[in-house]
Amino acid sequence: MTIGLLGFGVVGRGVYEIIASRQDMKIAQICCLEDPSLPDVRVTRDFQTIVRDETIDTVVEAMGGLHPAYEFVRAAMEAGKNIVTSNKALVAAFYDDLIPLAREKGLKFRCTAAVGGGIGWLSELERARRVQTICQVRGIMNGTCNYILDSMTRLGLGYDEALKQAQALGYAEARPATDVEGIDTWHKAILSSNIAFGVSVDREQVPVAGIHTITAADVAQFTAHGLVCKLMASGSRTEAGYSGCVQPTLVKEGSLEAAVPRNYNLITLEGAHSGPMSFYGQGAGRYPTAYNVVQDLVDVQLGKGFYTAEAKPVSVDNSRSLRWYVRGGWDGQIRERWGDGVITPEVSIAVMHSWRKAHPEAFIAALADQE
């Protein structure tokens, strides 16, 4: 296997280092804006040199972001090259374009490292759905948010202090909005649902709420009531089609989710035959992520294509009702008061997220005992 590598940041360097010890694959060219001195690989700033190189059969995209990653990946596919990527935003945004193009051209397209870093979650979904119907996917999919919430819960830190610690340790970006506002988890939830259920979810219909407005006082109330806050993604089959969202969720102390520490992930599938199966591990990092990129390259060598042959459009129905903790401007019915926040009677996911969209300064968290 001869590879063209797009990007030479954290993940790209990890892929390069792992492949360097293998005999069955080699990196022929790297496209990046830097100019690293590498003894065995040609480095270029011109992506077209990789497109034109007929010896390259597979492109690894490790640039991140939507543009120019999308344009580069699509051009590589038009040139007949297989794709392996760790870019969840790219695959979630252009799912209905890139996956059909891969099938049309008979190409392999893999993205296991895009969700769960080193866990191999999407490959586990692929295996599970071969022999059973998957009813639900859910879990903690973002290490940055989990580190912040874990530090606030265990160490009593405020949000700003916990975020600064995460940034100092390299778990959070200097501009952390994509993580803390739930967008990263949102991309992962959509991609997981598409593969688990063989559908194409309209991502604009999947609501998302992040953790950036949480306070130490909120966390103190949760602790006093035996609860732990986690940013959770969920997707479920329903009679109407599909229900899915990303939101802070209050889980009971002693539950699997409550125990997930630092920047780790825990993702669960509910199968018709297997029941719940949970997968735990590092959700990010150079070598955990690069490990699954190289696993995907091995799968390409073995002839594996995308994880599902189906991509049926599906209606999103978030009419399911939950109780909520809300702080900040709630004008609906109140079941009880927790400090500056309130617990609501049952309110549908759709209604609560619509309300929060009009009150972006508010903090909401679903109570998981009804899920």
Catalytic positions, written as ranges:
188
Which residues, 6+ apart, have CB-to-CB distance to 133 below 8 Å? 237, 271, 272
The position carrying tokens 């859910």 is 138
What is the 3-class SS of 232-258, one letter each residue? Answer: EEEEEEECCEEEEEEEEEEEECCCCHH
> Residue type for 122, please?
L
Angle 301-297-74 from CA coordinates, rounded to 5°: 100
Beta strands in the chain (DSSP E): 2-6, 26-31, 42-44, 58-61, 82-85, 109-110, 134-140, 199-201, 227-238, 241-252, 264-271, 275-282, 312-314, 321-322, 324-327, 336-338, 341-343, 347-348, 363-367
> Contact 348/323 with Cβ under 8 angstroms?
no
> Contact 93/268 with Cβ under 8 angstroms?
no
